[in-house]
């Protein structure tokens, strides 16, 4: 966060000028999508974010913010996202070792045995919810079972954006109500609310939101015509078993992740250990896969000609092959060739290198968010919103809108909780509203909408992990759309609006 003396040392910026960088960003992003389509996030959107950051910096300089302070604001914003970027890199490496070890193929193999196209989408929401609730992390859920569920759904012939929407909906539901989640703890802390009071109070809006989401996906699944599927789900398990040694013991690797998270290991440590565990299992359980990929490398190097450097030959010992194959899988793309081109995408991983574009997007987004906050432009735009909230319903609706606004402008989920939490905390107290009203709204609107913004750290991350464009999967993240609407609906109807003078779970009307 910028230092308070930075904001006090500069003159107030007119709201019309503070809005210009945002309008510029929206215009450039729309232009990029029109010209490049889904490829806009591979360069054009990063440039748009940097141009918008430059516009914010110029506006700040005109009204007294020093260049050094703006750069410090950007640096602080980037530093807050360092952990997220490191997690992304580890997730890239994990996808490579989990493919070679057979963990993801095993999940697809057994998933095809028990799931059908009609029930898959609703089941994906439930499975993702359970795992995310247990781990307290939507990112870990999407990076592990989410990747496997995407593979199963693709094998069943379902739409990738729809599958991603189901996975993300469940993952963000579990993350939102898990006491282990960092955002759950942060929202409670910002509102000054007891953690478990916060979790219990969220259930009133979150439960109908997730039930509606499951119902929608159940309906969408019922409309699937299994006879029109392009992939033969009977032969795919046979194809998987031809390449991999499939056994339930492979599930010990993802189980290890759950155990580490439950033991409150740091996410970076847990993912690093899970990545190495996948590598060990690949050597022990899937030597034939390592040899197969090594042969692909040997052939590719032979095609480069006799003068090219060779890292492997047909006579290389297995230990050398394993080292090269696993290093390549962690760092870059790995492809296990299969005869059926329709399912080839299930046997490809992009490694750490595949996450670099997403990290580039996050860096540019955090520069924009840091510039907006360091120059005071973000505060200039959000401050009048507090004055507009004259009733309990309008206060909660304004809080929700501010959370979404900060997700769009500051490009970070945590800022979307912290900034509105700081802004509205006293307003809730003055109206006699219990702090759990604020903490619930911060989660209902701040936590879950972050993934809907392509340049937000959450949106960019899930796009990088799942390989599905944010603008493609966002319409199907039903829970993330319903949740903020549900909290506003409860406020309008005066349902479960706790006051300071009444117990947290009392049913008061909220008319203050």
Residue 46 structure tokens: 């990063």
Domain boundary among 303, 330, 353: 353
Show the CA angle centred on residue 377, arms to residues 374 and 382, nearest 5°.
115
Residues 424 and 344 in one domain: no
Decide if 193 is inside a domain. yes
Decide if 211 is inside a domain. yes
Domain boundary among 296, 324, 353: 353
Decide if 109 is inside a domain. yes
Decide if 487 is inside a domain. yes
Residues 126 and 236 in one domain: yes
Q: Are 465 and 352 in contact (CB under 8 A)?
A: no
Show the CA angle centred on residue 397, arms to residues 394 and 403, nearest 5°.
140
pLDDT at residue 227, as a whole number: 60
Decide if 303 is inside a domain. no
Residues 71 and 95 in one domain: no
> Based on the structure, what is the number of domains in the chain?
2
Residues 70 and 100 in one domain: no
Backbone angles phi, psi at 195, to 5 degrees: -55, -50
| Tokens 């990545």 found at | 275
pLDDT at residue 307, as a whole number: 67
C-alpha–C-alpha distance, residues 397 and 497, integer Å: 13
Q: Are 107 and 145 in contact (CB under 8 A)?
A: yes
Residues 267 and 147 in one domain: yes
Domain boundary among 353, 374, 408: 353
pLDDT at residue 34, as a whole number: 85
Residues 171 and 48 in one domain: no
Residues 104 and 219 in one domain: yes
C-alpha dihedral over 343, 347, 351, 354, to 10 degrees? -10
The number of residues in the chain equals 512
Residues 345 and 367 in one domain: no
List of the chain residues with pLDDT < 50: 1-9, 502-512
Instruction: For the chain, give the longest Cα–Cα distance.
Output: 82
Q: Are 120 and 226 in contact (CB under 8 A)?
A: no
Query: What tens digit of pLDDT does each residue of 357-403 get?
Result: 888 888 888 898 889 889 988 888 877 877 777 788 999 999 999 99
Residues 227 and 169 in one domain: yes
Show the CA angle centred on residue 424, arms to residues 418 and 425, nearest 5°.
80
Decide if 371 is inside a domain. yes
Residues 41 and 95 in one domain: no
Residues 226 and 166 in one domain: yes
- Total-model pTM: 0.79
Q: In angstroms, how far is CA 1 from the centroid of its own chain?
A: 22
Residues 200 and 115 in one domain: yes
Decide if 38 is inside a domain. yes
* Domain extent at residue 137: 83-282+340-353
Q: Are 343 and 82 in contact (CB under 8 A)?
A: no
Buried b (16+ CB within 10 A) or exposed e, 388-420: ebeebbebbbbbbbbbbbbbbbbbbbbbbbbbb
Decide if 187 is inside a domain. yes
């Amino acid at each position: 966060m910028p230092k308070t003396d930075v904001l006090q040392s500069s003159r107030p910026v007119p709201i019309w000028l503070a809005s210009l960088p945002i309008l510029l960003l929206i215009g450039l992003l729309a232009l990029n999508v029109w010209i490049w389509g889904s490829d806009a996030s591979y360069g054009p959107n990063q440039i748009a974010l940097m141009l918008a950051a430059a516009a914010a910096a110029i506006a700040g300089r005109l009204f007294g913010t020093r260049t050094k302070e703006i750069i410090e604001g950007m640096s602080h914003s980037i530093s807050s996202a360092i952990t997220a970027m490191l997690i992304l890199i580890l997730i890239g490496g994990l996808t490579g070792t989990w493919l070679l070890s057979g963990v993801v193929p095993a999940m697809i193999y057994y998933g095809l045995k028990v799931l059908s196209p009609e029930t898959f989408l609703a089941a994906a929401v439930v499975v993702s919810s359970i795992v995310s609730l247990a781990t307290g992390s939507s990112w870990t859920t999407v990076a592990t079972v989410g990747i496997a569920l995407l593979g199963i759904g693709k094998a069943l012939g379902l739409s990738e954006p729809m599958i991603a929407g189901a996975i993300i909906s469940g993952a963000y539901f579990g993350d939102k109500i898990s006491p282990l989640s960092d955002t759950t703890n942060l929202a409670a802390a910002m509102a000054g609310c007891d953690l478990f009071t916060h979790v219990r109070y969220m259930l009133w809006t979150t439960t109908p939101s997730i039930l509606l989401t499951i119902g929608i996906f159940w309906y969408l699944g019922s409309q699937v015509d299994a006879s029109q599927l392009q992939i033969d789900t009977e032969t795919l398990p046979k194809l998987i078993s031809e390449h991999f040694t499939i056994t339930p013991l492979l599930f010990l690797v993802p189980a290890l992740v759950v155990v580490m998270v439950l033991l409150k290991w740091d996410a970076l440590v847990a993912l690093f250990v899970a990545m190495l565990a996948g590598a060990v299992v690949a050597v022990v359980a899937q030597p034939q896969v390592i040899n197969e990929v090594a042969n692909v490398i040997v052939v590719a190097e032979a095609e480069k000609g006799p003068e090219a450097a060779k890292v492997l030959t047909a006579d290389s010992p297995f230990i050398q092959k394993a080292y090269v194959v696993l290093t390549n899988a962690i760092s870059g793309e790995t492809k296990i060739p299969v005869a059926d081109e329709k399912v080839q995408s299930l046997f490809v991983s992009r490694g750490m290198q595949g996450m670099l574009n997403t990290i580039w997007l996050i860096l540019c987004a955090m520069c924009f968010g840091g510039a907006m906050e360091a120059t005071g432009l973000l505060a200039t735009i959000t401050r009048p919103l507090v004055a507009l909230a004259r009733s309990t319903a309008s206060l909660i609706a304004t809080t929700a809108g501010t959370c979404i606004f900060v997700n769009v402008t500051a490009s970070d989920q945590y800022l979307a909780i912290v900034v509105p939490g700081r802004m509205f905390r006293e307003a809730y107290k003055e109206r006699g509203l219990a702090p759990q009203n604020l903490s619930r709204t911060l989660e209902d609107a701040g936590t879950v909408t972050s993934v809907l913004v392509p340049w937000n750290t959450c949106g960019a991350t899930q796009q990088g992990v799942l390989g599905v464009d944010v603008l493609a999967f966002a319409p199907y993240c039903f829970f993330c759309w319903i949740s903020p609407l549900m909290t506003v609906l409860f406020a309008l109807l005066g349902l479960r609006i706790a006051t300071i003078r009444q117990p947290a779970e009392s049913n008061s009307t909220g008319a203050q």
